[in-house]
Structure 1
Amino acid sequence: MMKSSPYRPVLSHRTVRRLLPGFALSSLGDGMAVVAVSWFAIELAPAADRAVWVAVAAAAYTLPGAFGALVLGRLLRDRAPTQLAGWDAALRACALGAIPIAYLLGVLGMGLYVVLLAASSVLHSWGQAGVYTLLARVLPERDHLAGNAVLSTIGSSCTVVGPMIAAPLIMWGGAATVIAVDAATFAVLAATFLLAIRTSSVPEPARDVDADADSDTASRATGFTVIRRNPTLLGLLALSFGFFFLFGPVYVALPLHVSEDLQGSAGQLAGFYTAFGVGAVIGGTLTGYLSQWRLWPTTIGIVIAFGAVMLPLGLDVPHMVALGSFAIAGLLWPPYSSLSTTLFQRSTTAALLPQVLAASSSVRVLSVPLGSALGGPLVAGFGAGDTLRLAAMGIVVLGLAAAATTALRTLTARRSASCQSPSPRRGD
């Protein structure tokens, strides 16, 4: 089984083996920060404005990454993937490390806290792009999906374990302690790219005829420009934006559904998120075995299935049925992320891959908060249960629309090809 595992060539690769410990540690730090960032905002903010500041702090920890992907393209598009990932890790380590230092010095207020959180995330879309570009360059194409799945599984595991570690640390030393630990994990990742993975160990992209013919255009192109010119990438980006945007209201509706509709406790809500996380770990592990499947139809099918299994959440079903449905949704989450990243890797030239992946990452960073912002008015207008059902049905409709569009495009291409083929001569 080990010899036939799709993960064996990934885990045995020298460069990947050097990357994984630092990546896993920084992912654990991010999992801890999910709790610590909001909790520290609660500790710092005035009681009357806590809700606003918690939302601002959470946004500051993620949204500037989309801004960085948009405005820093000219400076970063030609950089090596190890530089992109290393600079992101170093910036996060410095900016996050400044937070507990300022707190100990007694100069940390909410304004400075938000500024430092925002600074820590400016390069994050480029850092993510650097990591996945590195995988695409050091691994053969057949191992891209398994490599992406390894990183996705690590991230999913850390979303389960990270909060469990953060809670006792907050009780022992406060939220500033957890943020200090998070900064230290990114310092380790930065050292990984500085000392363990040198730029010279990652092969440069091979130049092809098409890239040479259009080198001037390619050198000036941003990730969004490349995506706009490629129908496959544009469709994939639109599908990803819609999928994550429609899932955004769940972050608002599910807590209110548990507390108000079900009259449940915080422990019951935690049970939903734990079930999702456990499902995500299993789904990430299984993703590597999908390499023989057709990637684009599988990606669309996952979207349709995800929406379908989410429907019971807003219905009057037994608690265990709803919990199981959310766990299955979690199982489908990592395969979508890994498959869509693999599609980007296979549909883009190696030279343009960092720009394209940074653009894709920025869209994901933006789409979920935008969907969550929509969740407030939806819950106010329709209620938490109806909002969960609307989100689920919207995801199903999105997947069906993508399937119909793909089928129509394929049919049109076949008809065009048959019309252009020469007619057989008499007697042939």
Structure 2
Amino acid sequence: MIRRLVPSAYRPVLAHRVFRRLILGFGVSGLGDGMSFVAVAWLAIELAPRTTQGLWVGAAVAAYTLPGVVGALAFGRRLRRVPARRLLMVDSVVRGVFIGAVPLAWLAGLLTPPLYVVLLAVSSLLHAWGSAGKYTLLAELLPEEQRLAANTFVSSLNFAATIAGPAVAGVLVTYASSALVLGLDALTFVFLAVLVARTRLPEPGHVSPAEPAEPAEPAEAADPVDPVDPVDPQDQAAARGGLALLRSRPELLGLLTLTWFFNFLYGPVEVALPLHVTDDLRAPGTLLGLYWMLFGVGAVVGSLAIGALRRLPLWPVTVTIVIAWGLSLLPFGLGAPTAATVVCFTLGGVIYGPFVALSVTLIQAKSPPRHLAAMLAANNAVLLTASPLGTALGGPLTAALGPRATIGGSGLATVVLGTLACVLVAARRGDRRRNPSGIEKRRSASHG
């Protein structure tokens, strides 16, 4: 009976024994991340002087992810051939150790805002590689036709964890301490590392750097350059790094560009929302937990709905998500009642939820299998600069404009971004219809 309630797209994925074991670890670590949504910002508020709270909140939230860019660039040569399983384990251990140092320093009375930011920064140093390892591992385990369902299930699980995580964290930061919440977050990463270490995984095959691309990609196998040139152009790009690989795929580069600006404009929300709760509404941390909890509920619903579908037009869905997310933030700037902004933030979760899974699925489908981990790491590295830079900007913006105006301004700028992308996509599609054989080829022929 229960099996019949599960959409058909998810049944073969959930029947995979190793996948079921891995999602237990992903779910537990996602719960820790859900708690950190509240705890990272709230502990910065508790530690910092009132006059500089906005700046320290921005610095703390940025430090929780931004150094992953440095790790992706600094360790690229060493890690791009490391198995996905080991990448995931090492990242989990580093995050567990250094986030765990936060409550220890707090209990010892040594925790200051600068030390707090440093510990968060070191904990996130391998974040891009850990995420790349996770989704490369999924690509190793599952065939291409099951990856959208698997990716949406994993992202839905993460969002589901943010339902319980912020709710628990909201209570704990109000009645206990946000430092202790980060201690629980650290334990969830240790749990994931131990689970992955104790799980028997298949040997990497179709995404291994040493293996050729699977025959399932006829476009790669039928490339007329391959039989003639003993050096694969993709391997030449790989030698220059994952970013060169992304530049060789215009569709992925366009998606990366839109996603970067989308995440950048989201960044100020993470700074302004907790200050909106404390300054504008004079409310306790439980309300901040409610915002993020309901956002997670909406994200789960949106992600699972998308994952149950077989085929999706990528660009129309992507642009719609960008515009609709921006619209969901406008009521904050317009001074809408708290109940209305809670509803809008929940709808924003429904809209925002599928975005990550769709992006990852496209990269998995369009990347050469042997270079998937490098391309995912490069993609993650670029995107890791977006939201943290947005949060870093969010501190001064919130101090200058106020939390309410900052959230509303972020929404308005996002709507403009989505509208611009819509115009560009429509223009490109119009050119394709008028020149189905290829605009560039015709131009070259006319000049020849």
- The TM-score range, normalised by the shorter chain, is 0.7 to 0.9
Q: Deviations over 1:216-268 (max 9, x none)?
A: 4144132222222221111101110111112223334445656666x563455
1:332-351 matched pairs, under 5 angstroms: 332-351=351-370
TM-score (norm 2): 0.82
Name the Cα RMSD after superposition: 3.3
**8 A contact 2:9–2:309 mirrored in 1:** no
Other structure's SS at 1:200 match: coil
**8 A contact 1:82–1:199 mirrored in 2:** no
1:252-331 matched pairs, under 5 angstroms: 252-254=271-273, 263=281, 265-266=283-284, 269-315=288-334, 317=336, 319-331=338-350
- Shift in Å at residue 19 of structure 1? 0.6
- Shift in Å at residue 142 of structure 1? 1.8
Matched, 1:126 2:129: yes
**8 A contact 2:42–2:274 mirrored in 1:** no
Residues 49 and 241 of structure 1: CA distance in aligned 2, closer, same or farther (over 3 Å): closer
Structure 1 residues not aligned, in runs of 5+: 423-428
- Shift in Å at residue 402 of structure 1? 1.8
Residues 247 and 34 of structure 1: CA distance in aligned 2, closer, same or farther (over 3 Å): closer
Matched, 1:162 2:181: no
Residues 378 and 123 of structure 1: CA distance in aligned 2, closer, same or farther (over 3 Å): closer
Residues 17 and 265 of structure 1: CA distance in aligned 2, closer, same or farther (over 3 Å): same
2:119 equivalent in structure 1: 116
Q: Deviations over 1:107-148 (max 9, x none)?
A: 665554433322211111110111111112221222211111
Aligned partners of 1:198 and 1:124: how far apart in 2? 22
Aligned partners of 1:373 and 1:44: how far apart in 2? 18
Residues 91 and 387 of structure 1: CA distance in aligned 2, closer, same or farther (over 3 Å): closer
1:243 equivalent in structure 2: 262
Aligned partners of 1:380 and 1:108: how far apart in 2? 24
**8 A contact 2:136–2:207 mirrored in 1:** no
2:15 equivalent in structure 1: 12
Structure 2 residues not aligned, in runs of 5+: 214-220, 443-448
- Shift in Å at residue 288 of structure 1? 0.9
Residue identity matched to 1:158: A
Matched, 1:195 2:198: yes
Aligned partners of 2:400 and 2:103: how far apart in 1? 41
Aligned partners of 1:161 and 1:84: how far apart in 2? 27
Question: Alignment partner for residue 77 of structure 1, among 59, 75, 80?
Answer: 80
Matched, 1:406 2:425: yes
1:200-215 matched pairs, under 5 angstroms: 200=203, 203-205=206-208, 207-208=212-213, 209=221, 213-214=232-233
Q: Say how many residue pairs are matched.
A: 421
Aligned partners of 1:87 and 1:7: how far apart in 2? 29
Residue identity matched to 1:57: A
TM-score (norm 1): 0.85
Other structure's SS at 2:163 match: helix
Residue identity matched to 1:86: M
Q: Deviations over 1:161-192 (max 9, x none)?
A: 12333355567874454333322221221122
Residues 216 and 202 of structure 1: CA distance in aligned 2, closer, same or farther (over 3 Å): closer
Aligned partners of 1:272 and 1:72: how far apart in 2? 37
Residue identity matched to 2:325: F
2:390 equivalent in structure 1: 371
Aligned partners of 1:137 and 1:179: how far apart in 2? 32
1:354 equivalent in structure 2: 373
Other structure's SS at 1:78 match: coil
Aligned partners of 2:32 and 2:63: how far apart in 1? 17
Other structure's SS at 1:207 match: coil
- Shift in Å at residue 196 of structure 1? 0.3
Residues 130 and 373 of structure 1: CA distance in aligned 2, closer, same or farther (over 3 Å): same
2:94 equivalent in structure 1: 91
1:50-69 matched pairs, under 5 angstroms: 52-69=55-72
Percent identical among aligned pairs is: 43
